[in-house]
A and B are shown apart, each in its own frame.
Chain A
């Protein structure tokens, strides 16, 4: 957490993108995991 009144917009955008990237990875890996547990036994 920071008390800086003017947060760096580049950093905020990067954080948002990071969250999205990780969300896509989690969804993909969960799908692959489901594929494995449902079909590969």
Chain B
């Protein structure tokens, strides 16, 4: 990468850290450190919510997924707008009105302390690990693309984020998120503009080519529980996942607890409802256009440069043979793509024949790529994940001076915004739900503020260590995601139960155990069921078991049913 691009990255990272430190001034108590004294405008909170959810994986992995798999991933988010609306009229007024620091604090008021501690503990385990995975994903890519050591890449992403989060608290996190969101959207739009400018075909022809390879097939209406991305899994399973994520995950709840009022908190969530699907479509469209770009510009056989170098070194002859075949097939595929673009509008039969020819060439190229990926995995002993390198490789080879730096800064921004929000929420849950609740309930604000900063630094250290190991263990990120899907639906079930006046005491605690057990049973006995449905199973089991337990006991005391009566506890 050119010196100017590195300068852009350096200036951006420095600016975020310095601005974070500047915003730390005047924060003397934990309400300011964790919740910005509940004073932030809805649009800043809304952008922070979106930035937290949009990680570096979105910038690198999802765009790559667009290039290889097309637009169908959009279906994953179909339930999000409905979920946001439901949260706007249910949990947001309860949590914001309850004046709590954490979502789990509310559960103690509604049920009991063990329920609060268990949910908070599960959050800490899950987010502590996923925070490491969020650092690991871009760190692995940076280390392969730029030839850095992995700990160096982890440090570049992790250290500045920990510094501004630790010192600046939620104010620094939110205002950095606002800048980061603007940078991310600008970088994506810039890439779309460059792609449209550099493609040798018109936008209409590019879309025709992408469509011929199935990459514009967004909607799948089949009701197949084993398919991860269908309209139904996205609209129903995805809605439960989003309800759980935005309604009960402290890393999200804490964003809208910083809003000035309940209407502003609602509006901040609705911003995601407005823009998430269009933004995700834009991200995937970038990938689709990069795919079309590489139909006319010779692509590498392996996009991961580190793997490519290792394969060349240890299986050079075999790889050279594959490359030669790949070049030959690429030429045939380019000709087929041009035939699709040039097919006359009135010639339906000719267009159909051209499309079939392109699909056949695409399948042939796919077969060679599969062989090369298998060779890379055999040679390196690592899972390939080549899809994550498509966009970085394109950016570094084909974007004009300055834009490459802007994109890398955008990836860093996406990683930092997600990590910062998670560290801030991990620190909040640690201090409020455990340290202040069980260890030292009567400390001064200055004391808790100091502990909060130590907790942020601690979780930052944990995340960096996990990131280093996640990268080398390969499958840990998958483990983290599966681990999360075990209890996301169950935690949502606890909050749903909280809104039913009849539910009481230990019903939520045992309901949650039953919910997680039900998800475990589905995982073991029906492993092909998509993980999005786990959230539905978990939530329904908790509510059903919770109500049964409540029905078996005595009626709750009036004071314990605040949530159910519509009055924030």
In the docked arrangement, what's the CA distance between A17 and B264, Å?
12
Chain A interface bracket (under 10, 10 to 19, 20 to 34, 35 or more):
20 to 34
- Are the C-beta atoms of A20 and B274 separated by less than 8 Å? yes
B390 to chain A, nearest CB (A): 21
- Are the C-beta atoms of A29 and B85 separated by less than 8 Å? no
A8 to chain B, nearest CB (A): 10
With an 8 A cutoff between CB atoms, is A2 at the interface? Answer: no
**Contact for A36 among B85, B216, B266, B355, CB less than 8 A:** B216
- Name the interface residues of A1-41: CB closer than 8 Å to any CB of B: 10, 13-14, 17-18, 20-22, 24-25, 28-29, 32-33, 35-36, 38-41
Chain B interface bracket (under 10, 10 to 19, 20 to 34, 35 or more):
20 to 34
- Are the C-beta atoms of B216 and A28 separated by less than 8 Å? no
A33/B219 contact (C-beta < 8 A), A14-B89, A21-B85, A39-B211 known: yes
**Overall SS of chain A's interface:** helix
Task: List the A side residues contacting B218 at CB < 8 Å.
Answer: 32-33, 35-36
With an 8 A cutoff between CB atoms, is B539 at the interface? Answer: no
- Are the C-beta atoms of B263 and A21 separated by less than 8 Å? no
- Are the C-beta atoms of A39 and B207 separated by less than 8 Å? yes
With an 8 A cutoff between CB atoms, is B163 at the interface? Answer: no
- Name the interface residues of B528-562: CB closer than 8 Å to any CB of A: none
In the docked arrangement, what's the CA distance between A22 and B275, Å?
11
**Overall SS of chain B's interface:** helix
Task: List the A side residues contacting B212 at CB < 8 Å.
Answer: 39, 41
In the docked arrangement, what's the CA distance between A28 and B277, Å?
8
In the docked arrangement, what's the CA distance between A29 and B212, Å?
20
- Are the C-beta atoms of B278 and A39 separated by less than 8 Å? no
**Contact for A21 among B207, B217, B270, CB less than 8 A:** B270
**Contact for A14 among B208, B217, B263, B355, CB less than 8 A:** B263
In the docked arrangement, what's the CA distance between A29 and B219, Å?
9
In the docked arrangement, what's the CA distance between A13 and B262, Å?
12
Task: List the A side residues contacting B217 at CB < 8 Å.
Answer: 36, 40
Specify the chain A residue showing the minimal Cβ separation from B211.
A39
In the docked arrangement, what's the CA distance between A36 and B211, Å?
7
- Are the C-beta atoms of B216 and A10 separated by less than 8 Å? no
A21/B81 contact (C-beta < 8 A), A10-B263, A32-B74, A33-B219 known: yes
- Are the C-beta atoms of A38 and B219 separated by less than 8 Å? no
Task: List the B side residues contacting A20 at CB < 8 Å.
Answer: 274
- Are the C-beta atoms of B85 and A41 separated by less than 8 Å? no
A22 to chain B, nearest CB (A): 7
B241-279 vs A, CB cutoff 8 Å, 1 = contact: the mask equals: 000000000000000000000110011001001110110
In the docked arrangement, what's the CA distance between A22 and B273, Å?
9
In the docked arrangement, what's the CA distance between A10 and B216, Å?
40
B273-290 vs A, CB cutoff 8 Å, 1 = contact: the mask equals: 111011001000000000
In the docked arrangement, what's the CA distance between A25 and B162, Å?
36
A41/B211 contact (C-beta < 8 A), A17-B270, A32-B219 known: yes
B91 to chain A, nearest CB (A): 14
Task: List the B side residues contacting A24 at CB < 8 Å.
Answer: 274-275, 278
- Are the C-beta atoms of B216 and A39 separated by less than 8 Å? yes
In the docked arrangement, what's the CA distance between A29 and B77, Å?
11
Task: List the A side residues contacting B74 at CB < 8 Å.
Answer: 32
B284 to chain A, nearest CB (A): 10
A25/B208 contact (C-beta < 8 A), A17-B270, A32-B218 known: no
B72 to chain A, nearest CB (A): 10
With an 8 A cutoff between CB atoms, is B129 at the interface? Answer: no
B277 to chain A, nearest CB (A): 5
- Are the C-beta atoms of A18 and B85 separated by less than 8 Å? yes
- Name the interface residues of B217-233: CB closer than 8 Å to any CB of A: 217-219
Task: List the B side residues contacting A21 at CB < 8 Å.
Answer: 81, 84-85, 270, 273-274
- Are the C-beta atoms of B277 and A41 separated by less than 8 Å? no
B231 to chain A, nearest CB (A): 10
A29/B277 contact (C-beta < 8 A), A13-B263, A17-B267, A35-B216 known: yes
In the docked arrangement, what's the CA distance between A18 and B274, Å?
9
Task: List the B side residues contacting A38 at CB < 8 Å.
Answer: 207, 211
Task: Give me the 6 closest cross-chain CB pairs, A-B, nearest first.
Answer: A39-B211, A40-B211, A40-B216, A40-B217, A32-B218, A21-B273
Using CB atoms and an 8 Å cutoff, list the residues of chain B in contact with chain A.
71, 74, 81, 84-85, 88-89, 207-208, 210-212, 214-219, 262-263, 266-267, 270, 273-275, 277-278, 281, 355
A sample of 9 more A-B contacts (CB under 8 A), given A28-B277, A35-B211, A39-B207, is A13-B263, A21-B273, A22-B81, A24-B274, A36-B211, A36-B216, A39-B208, A39-B211, A41-B211
Ordered by A's residue number, 24 sampled pairs between the chains whose C-beta atoms are within 8 Å are A10-B263, A14-B89, A14-B266, A18-B85, A18-B270, A21-B270, A21-B273, A21-B274, A22-B81, A25-B81, A25-B273, A32-B281, A33-B219, A36-B211, A38-B207, A39-B208, A39-B210, A39-B211, A39-B212, A39-B216, A40-B214, A40-B216, A41-B212, A41-B355
